[in-house]
């Protein structure tokens, strides 16, 4: 079995999940976006549950890409 490290990058407009081997080669990756809410001029908000849902979706996609992966 190959050692793989999974990273998660939460940004303002979306999340990115990647899986890399110990040599730094990207094995799988996935991105999901979420909305930036502007309820009034000059206001910017986000719903933290959107972060969680997008993160879980991206991580699930990466694990599906890794399913059966062999080096």
pLDDT of residue 2: 75
Instruction: Return the pLDDT at 53.
Output: 98
pLDDT at 21 (0 to 100): 94
Residue 19's Cα: distance from chain center in Å? Answer: 10
Query: Taking residues 31-60, what's their average pLDDT?
Result: 96
Rounded to two decimals, the pTM is: 0.86
Element (H, E) at 18: strand 14-21
Q: What is the pLDDT of residue 71?
A: 57
Task: Render pLDDT for 5-23 as a digit per residue (tens, 0 to 9).
Answer: 999 999 999 999 999 999 9
Question: In this structure, how many other beta carbons lie within 10 angstroms of the beta carbon of residue 39?
Answer: 7
Which pLDDT band, with edges at 50, 70 and 90, does 37 fall under?
Answer: very high
């Amino acid at each position: 079995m190959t050692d793989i490290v999974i990273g998660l990058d939460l940004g303002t407009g979306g999340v990115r999940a990647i899986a890399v081997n110990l040599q730094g080669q990207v094995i799988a990756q996935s991105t999901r976006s979420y909305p930036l809410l502007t309820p009034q001029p000059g206001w910017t908000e986000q719903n933290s549950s959107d972060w969680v849902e997008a993160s879980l979706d991206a991580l699930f996609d990466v694990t599906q890409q890794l399913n059966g992966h062999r080096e």
